[in-house]
Amino acid sequence: MRAPRLLVAITLAGLLAAGSAPAWSLDLMQAYQAALAQDARIRAARAARDSAIERLPQARAQLLPNIAINLGRNKNDIDRTQENALGRDVSFGEEYFSYNQTLQLRQPLFRMPLFAGLRQAGFVVDDAEATLERELQDLGSRVTGAYMEALLAQDALELVLKQKSVTTIQLDAARKSLQAGYGTRTDIDEAQARLDMNTAEELSAHQHVEFTRRQLEILINQPVDSLVTVDAQRLPLLPPEPAEVAAWVRMAEESSPEVRALQARLDTARAEIDKARGGHYPTVDAIAQISRSGSENVTSPSSSYTNHLIGLQVNIPLFAGGYVNSSVRQAIAEQVRAEENLEATRRDLAVRVHREHRGITEGVLKVKALQQAVRSAQQLVQSSKRSFEAGSRSTVDVLNAEQQLQSTLRDLAEARYVYLLSRVRLRALVGMDREQSIGEVNGWLGGS
């Protein structure tokens, strides 16, 4: 009886220890590493890459020797009718077994479609590799976006709660002022209306916090207790390097995994044209064969043969009903489509690079401007409070100043997150090291 009691005591102690343990804070790098292992799109892209890699040995195998053994054994039952010396038909029945054994080696020497198929398989692998890299880069952007959106929702909730606390204090002060004989009913009504609005905003902010946390949890496939926040003191406001947007566009066109994937698809389409045109070319194979057969001749069923054969086999296509020409036209149309998709992506990529580059450069200026606006709003709050105490300002003035401060703080937090997200996205567009980009932003996190 003592062992079960001991087990219960150990279990209860473990639960109490877990309950008293501090909440675990998730940072950006941890979120990215978790998403890297759990995201379904990444796993699908890896499987597609692994599948595409198998195209190479399959295409290469068609150019290597093919060795086959063909074995057969048959029972022959022959009914034969022939005239005898008297001119009458006489029937004979005969049963015997025959067999054949063939060992053949076939080596393709010239097959245009197979050569083109081998090149095409390499391009398919390049496409899959680039597509996986694009998904990995996009994952960094998606995780950073979800993380920053969750932080913004958390900041918005904290600001609403702070505003609600200030409004509650102002409402209490307005009631006391009215009781003292120098306040107004309007101040109470204004403070009460602001408090009711803050309560509604708090409910909405709680819902948005839960929604953004859920978005992040889906990406990393694990619950989120708390997030490590951005440390404003560590955050450097750095312009993009190089500063010229044209340089970033060039890097994107040269190194973007999205462009590389589409370029590989264009090369695949060109190889498909060569494959289709190969239908007009003859094929040449070298053949070496050993065959043994027995009882295959009706006239001499007990005989056996052994044949050694070596030579070349040439197949010259003459007419296939227009199939080859149609395949060539189809492949050319696919090439045109691949070219246009590549050109459209390059143009769109330039627009996205411009947008994220501007998000960094303008983000630096916006964050600095809002930092100054916060200082001014804080000074306004202090001045409004002193003026209220002196009787030259009303409760409404103080509430307006507080609301302006909280709005400015929310705008500043949003500007910081947009600036950080633009840095990650810009580097992802040009195919830079995603781990380095995430690690750089993660180094600017501090509080919890």
Residues 331 and 403 in one domain: yes
Residues 286 and 276 in one domain: no
How confident is the prediction for the chain on average, in pLDDT?
Answer: 87
Q: Which of 298, 316, 334 is the last residue of a domain?
A: 316
Give me the pLDDT at residue 399, please: 81
Whole domain around residue 293: which residue ranges?
67-109+282-316
Judge whether 17 lies within some domain: no
Judge whether 42 lies within some domain: yes
Q: Which of 271, 293, 316 is the last residue of a domain?
A: 316
Instruction: Report the CATH number that the domain containing residue 198 is assigned in CATH.
Output: 1.20.1600.10
Residues 300 and 242 in one domain: no
Judge whether 94 lies within some domain: yes
Q: Which of 316, 341, 370 is the last residue of a domain?
A: 316
Residues 99 and 180 in one domain: no
Give me the pLDDT at residue 95, please: 82
Residues 211 and 292 in one domain: no
Residues 433 and 346 in one domain: yes
Give me the pLDDT at residue 88, please: 80
More confident residue, 349 or 446: 349
Residues 227 and 104 in one domain: no
Judge whether 9 lies within some domain: no
Give me the pLDDT at residue 6, please: 37
Give me the pLDDT at residue 8, please: 35
284 pLDDT tier (thresholds 50, 70, 90): very high
Residue 4 has pLDDT above 60, yes or no: no
Residues 182 and 247 in one domain: yes
Three-state secondary structure readout of the chain: CHHHHHHHHHHHHHHHHHHHCCCCEECHHHHHHHHHHHCHHHHHHHHHHHHHHCHHHHHHHCCCCEEEEEEEEEEEEEEEEEECCCCCEEEEEEEEEEEEEEEEEEEEEECHHHHHHHHHHHHHHHHHHHHHHHHHHHHHHHHHHHHHHHHHHHHHHHHHHHHHHHHHHHHHHHHHHHHHCCCCHHHHHHHHHHHHHHHHHHHHHHHHHHHHHHHHHHHHCCCCCEECCECCCCCCCCCCCCCCHHHHHHHHHHHCHHHHHHHHHHHHHHHHHHHHHHHHCCEEEEEEEEEEEECCCCCCCCCEEEEEEEEEEEECCCCCCCHHHHHHHHHHHHHHHHHHHHHHHHHHHHHHHHHHHHHHHHHHHHHHHHHHHHHHHHHHHHHHHHHHHHCCCCHHHHHHHHHHHHHHHHHHHHHHHHHHHHHHHHHHHCCCCHHHHHHHHHCCECCC
Which pLDDT tens digit goes with each residue over 360-411? 999 999 999 999 999 999 999 889 888 877 777 777 788 888 888 988 999 9
Residues 231 and 288 in one domain: no
Judge whether 370 lies within some domain: yes
Residue 11 has pLDDT above 60, yes or no: no
Residues 355 and 382 in one domain: yes
Residues 407 and 312 in one domain: no
**How many domains is the chain built from?**
2
Least trusted range by pLDDT, from 52-56, 61-65, 295-299: 295-299
Which pLDDT tens digit goes with each residue over 22-56? 445 889 999 999 999 989 999 999 999 999 999 99
Judge whether 13 lies within some domain: no
Judge whether 122 lies within some domain: yes
Residues 83 and 169 in one domain: no
Least trusted range by pLDDT, from 153-157, 177-181, 265-269: 177-181
Give me the pLDDT at residue 301, please: 66
Judge whether 3 lies within some domain: no
Least trusted range by pLDDT, from 180-189, 194-203, 323-332: 180-189
Residue 237 has pLDDT above 60, yes or no: yes
